[in-house]
Structure 1
Amino acid sequence: MGLWSFVKDAGSSLFGSKAEAAEAPEAAAAKEAALKAEVEKLGLDAKGVEIKVQGDKVVLSGKAATPEAQEKVILAVGNVAGVAEVEAEDHLDAAAPVFHTVKKGDTLSAIAKATLGNANRYTEIFEANKPMLSHPDKIYPGQMLRIPQA
């Protein structure tokens, strides 16, 4: 199992206001449904993955068909306002995922230079984060991105 930390107040707002996002446990089912809908809206292959909400933590049990699909599901549910952590099963046949949290002033080029050694490889990061990213210039502080390895 892997555990990833996210910026709780960054990301799309699926749970309503901060007050609504923090309320009683009976809202967990509604939050789980909202996260499942987000994953489906993005067109991610999450067959075999169950989403459970425990406070501000999301637990993914089971595994997606591929390590890439698993990483994208982790990011899809983690980059939601109100989610501070995502716990998920690892694909034992794959290398540990590499994620990067966007800081103020970051660009995909700057992230590519820092993580891949070449600013011109920003397109690889963009492609690795589709469909969560719709444009290379539309990233925000606190967002977590996949960094492709290979």
Structure 2
Amino acid sequence: MGLFDFVSDIGKKLFNKEEDASKAVTEHLAEDNPGVEDVQVTVENGTAKISGVASSAAAIEKAVLMAGNIAGITNVNIDEVRIANGEQVANDDEFYVIQKGDTLWKIADKAYGNGAKYTAIVDANKEVIKDADKIFPGQKIRIPKSL
């Protein structure tokens, strides 16, 4: 399925030592579970390898973003995740890396031609955007194509 790249020195700090990383990232995904049953994460050399059964392609994408937006994670591997209903992993949504000076309003205006549609971006990223006013450069989010 794939390997996704992230910036390792930004994001939520969940662990100090790599030996604590697997447990911390697994608990993080389980806390706000985006739809992946039996989720397990193994972290080694900055790569988070996720396993489990996803309810949809969107659930996998959310799990990837949740793990990848953690400080210390440089890659997320989803080769061990399968989708319960046989749906393909790729869907219409795209990933976007937040740039300095971005706001969700500006991103929505660029993506949809209407900044007020930023709430669709927040809804699609509720696992990684807890507060619409607290996004940061380098953070990776999903931009839903179908509203």
TM-score normalised to structure 1 length: 0.82
Structure 2: gaps of 5 or more residues: none
> Between Structure 1 and Structure 2, how many residues are aligned?
140
Moved more, 5-14 or 111-120: 111-120
Looking at structure 1, the residues matched to 26 and 89 of structure 2 have their Cα atoms a distance apart, in angstroms, of 26
- Runs of 4+ aligned residues of structure 1 deviating over 4 Å after TM superposition are none
Which residue of 2 is the match for residue 3 of structure 1?
A: 3
Answering whether residue 140 of structure 2 is matched by residue 144 of structure 1, we say yes
For 1:57 and 1:67, the matched residues in 2 are separated by 20
Distance, in Å, in 1 between the alignment partners of 2:8 and 2:89 is: 30
Matched, 1:98 2:102: no
Q: For the Cα contact (< 8 Å) 2:128–2:141, is it kept in 1?
A: no
Q: Which structure shows the bigger proportion of residues in strand conformation?
A: 2
- The percent of aligned pairs where both chains have the same amino acid is 36
Work out whether 1:47 is the aligned partner of 2:2. no
Q: Retained in 2: the 8 A contact 1:9–1:81?
A: yes
C-alpha distance in 1, partners of 2:40/2:127?
20
**Structure 1 residue 12 corresponds to structure 2 residue 15:** no
SS at match of 2:9: coil
Looking at structure 2, the residues matched to 3 and 63 of structure 1 have their Cα atoms a distance apart, in angstroms, of 17
Residues 138 and 118 (structure 1), Cα distance of their counterparts in 2 relative to 1, 3 Å cut: same
| Higher share of residues assigned helix | 1
For 2:7 and 2:24, the matched residues in 1 are separated by 18
Q: CA RMSD in A?
A: 2.0
Q: Following TM superposition, by how much is the alpha carbon of 1:131 offset from its aligned partner in structure 2, in angstroms?
A: 3.2
CA-CA distance at 1:135 after TM superposition: 2.1
1:35 matches 2:25: yes
Query: What's the offset of the Cα at 1:96?
Result: 5.7
Residue 65 of structure 1 corresponds to 55
CA distance in 2, matches of 1:54, 1:63: 21
Alpha-carbon displacement from aligned partner over 1:11-65 (angstroms, at most 9, x marks no partner): 011112xxx35xxxxx1xx211100111122243321443222211112234411
Kindly indicate whether residue 103 of structure 2 is the aligned counterpart of residue 113 of structure 1. Answer: no
- 1:48-86, Cα deviation, whole Å (9 max, x unpaired): 443222211112234411122111111111100000111
Q: Shift of the alpha carbon at 1:97?
A: 4.3
